[in-house]
Structure formats: structure tokens, C-alpha cells
Amino acid sequence: MRKITVTIPASTTNIGCGFDCLGLALSLYNTVEVEKIKGDEVIVEIEGEGRKLIPTNEENIIFPALKMVFDRVGEKLKGLRIKEVNRIPLEKGLGSSAATRLGGIVAASCLLKANLDTREILKMAVSLEGHPDNVAASLLGGFVAVTFCETDPVWVKLPVPETLRVVIVIPDKKILTRRARRVLPEKISFSDAVFNLSRLAILVPSLSQGIWENLALATQDKLHQPYRTSLLPEMEDVFEAALDAGAKGVFLSGAGSGVAAFSFEDKAEKIGRTMQKVFLSRGTKANYLILCVDKKGCRVDEKKH
């Protein structure tokens, strides 16, 4: 019997101005183990985050991900044991659903020897996730810019200096991405579009080349964060406190509720504690993580037993 284990990094996306097109893979990992078993049953076990909340039946989002690959090779989805070990907090803007979907697609591709390439995996995962930024960062690792040309993904993986730390403060407040997208306007003004474009042009090379003094400006945004303060009223105060504590840049992680700050190792604890305190002072419990950028993206380990 073969057991496939896929390790998938968390991600932080948008990075302020790069709504739906920028992502960073982070050193916090979920694993998905898949092995064939006798009979028709598909058994799902969950460990860690969401152990008591995530369904273990076909409502689990890993099912459509696995099924896409099984359908592709003309096999029925049956006789499987799946174990999800979740370390990425749920609904905190750290790409937990993208990680589960990628885990399912990559594991099934290996198990069935479907040989899906990066492009196909990305397309499949995005078709389930609805936006490409988390999926691309977690699949490819590092700092990723991604878009779609009709149905084809186009991406660039950029270098990031080793010294960068990403401090993530995680409030005790869940925000469903679906809900966070509903608060966004259908139209924005020309001046707001220019505001974001001009920051994006500075952000990409500055983050990639470590021109740290540009990041406070370059992570600013007028496309999504101002609208999402209705879901996270502490956001502005947390941003201000993080910058005062020495953060190089600060932004809502994905659709939230997590907030991410760029820092070096020496200031990271202080920034984490400071952001946590702001949430606490507003009556919201919070913890924080100090993470590095994951460079490798999704990886697979295969064992025969």
C-alpha cells in the first residue's frame, strides 16, 4: 500500500494593495495524508485546527478537490483513508481552505499517478477556491504574483530576503472570506485605482529586493481594507500600533481576521505583543505567530508499507 503525505504552507495574501494577485507562503503547515484502503468507504480524520468543526463526510472541502482528480483519470472516489493535520487557523486569512484543497488535489494526483503539472493543479484549485492568490503562494512557495489570462494562470515567483519575518496577530474572531467579499463595492473611483496601482508598483520590487523603508507606504490600500474595517473595527488601531512598534509594513492578512506585519527578528516579539494588546484593549482575545517565508511550497512524501 502507498501512503502519500502532502505538506502545504499557509499563506498571507493581498499584502495591502495587491488584492487577489499577491501572496506569500509562510512557515506554518498543514499536512494531508491519503492512502488506499480495502472496501468503498472514504474515512476522514481531522487533527488540530477545526477538529470538532470540520465535517468528515462529503461536506468536507477536500472531497471536491479529490474528486476532480479521480474524475480526470476516470476512477471512482472510494476506498480511501484521509488524515488532515491542520495547523493553519481557520477563517483567519491564512489560506487554510486553499491548503486543504491543494492537499487533496496534489495527494490524489500522486496516488493515481495522474502527473498533473503545476499549471493544472493551480487551475483546479483556483476553480474551487474562487481566487488565485492563496493557492498560488501555497503551491509555489515564496512571494508570488498571479493572475489569469482567460482560463490560464500566469504567475511570477519572486525572491524575498531571508531576514524578513511576518508577524501574524490572530484575533479570536472568524471572518468567512465569502462574507468579507460581500462588503466590497462593485465600483471604485479612478483615484482609488491609481492609489493602489502606484503602491503596487513600489511594493513588488521593494519587498523582493528588501527596500524596507518603502513598505509602510507600499502596503497601503484603498480597494478592500477600508471596507473590511466594518468586520474588524480594530484594524486601523492595530496598523498604527504595529508601525509605531517598528513594523516595516502592515496589512490585513487575506480577507482577515488576521493582521500581518513585516519585521526583522529583533523587533518581531515587540510588534506581536503590541498588536495583541490593541485587540485585548478592545475586548478581543488574540495571539500571535512569528513566521518566515516558506520558499518551497507544496511538497510530497510517499511511503510504501
**How are beta strands 259-263 and 249-252 bridged, if at all?**
antiparallel
Residue from the set 5, 7, 60, 134 that interacts with ligand HSE by CB under 6 A: 134
Q: Which is nearer to ligand HSE, 111 or 262 (CB)?
A: 262
Residues 131, 16, 179, 56, CA torsion sign: positive
Closest by CA position to 2, among listed 115, 76, 158, 113: 113
Q: Taking CB under 6 A as the rule, does residue 255 contact ligand HSE?
A: yes
Strand-pairing partners, residue 81, are 35, 43
Q: Taking CB under 6 A as the rule, does residue 180 contact ligand HSE?
A: yes
Cell of 189: 473611483
- Site map (CB under 6 A) of ligand HSE, residues 72-111, x = contact: ---------------------x------------------
Question: Shortest approach of ligand HSE to residue 93 CB, angstroms?
Answer: 5
Residue from the set 5, 7, 10, 14 that interacts with ligand HSE by CB under 6 A: 14
Q: Taking CB under 6 A as the rule, does residue 179 contact ligand HSE?
A: no
Closest by CA position to 128, among listed 105, 107, 146, 148: 105
- Site map (CB under 6 A) of ligand HSE, residues 196-225, x = contact: ----------------------------x-
Q: Taking CB under 6 A as the rule, does residue 267 contact ligand HSE?
A: no
Q: Taking CB under 6 A as the rule, does residue 181 contact ligand HSE?
A: yes
Q: How many CB atoms lie within 10 A of CB 154?
A: 11
The span of 37-45, 127-135, 165-173, 205-213 binding ligand HSE (CB under 6 A) equals: 127-135
Give CA separation, 41 vs 2, 82, 106, 160, 180, in Å. 17, 11, 21, 44, 36
| Residue 25, amino acid | A
Number of residues that bind ligand HSE (CB under 6 A): 14
Q: Taking CB under 6 A as the rule, does residue 138 contact ligand HSE?
A: no
Determine phi and psi for 13, rounding to 5 degrees. -130, 175
Residue from the set 6, 20, 86, 167 that interacts with ligand HSE by CB under 6 A: 20
How many helices (H) and strands (E) would you count in the chain? Answer: 10, 11
The residue ranges that bind ligand HSE (CB under 6 A) are 13-14, 19-20, 93, 131, 133-134, 177, 180-181, 224, 254-255
